[in-house]
Amino acid sequence: MQTRIYRRPDVEKLVGLSRSTLYAMMAEGSFPKPVKLGKRAVGWREADLHTWLADRIKNAV
């Protein structure tokens, strides 16, 4: 199974949050942490993002 990795600009578009909000939420443990891709590059697993979105939608009802 192939896992897609999203870079930060794509994550911002997908979840509708700004960079500063994403990093603040990661610091408090309410947003998935990225995986390290290289020395200065990180990305988020597609499955982690979709799970987070589904939980947000489920808890909003």
1 falls in which pLDDT band (50, 70, 90)?
Answer: low
**Per-residue pLDDT, 6:** 97
Alpha-carbon distances, residue 20 vs 14, 37, 55, 59 (angstroms): 15, 20, 21, 23
Range of the domain at 9: 5-60
**Per-residue pLDDT, 30:** 96
**Per-residue pLDDT, 33:** 96
**Number of domains composing the chain:** 1
* pLDDT at residue 61 greater than cutoff 80: no
- DSSP state for residue 6 in the 8-state scheme: E
CB of 6 closer than 8 Å to CB of 46: yes
Kindly give, in sequence order, each residue whose CB lies less than 8 Å from that of residue 14, ignoring residues fewer than 6 positions away.
6, 49, 53
Threshold 0.85, pTM exceeds? yes
pLDDT per residue as tens digits for the range 5-56? 999 999 999 999 999 999 999 999 999 999 999 999 999 999 999 999 999 9
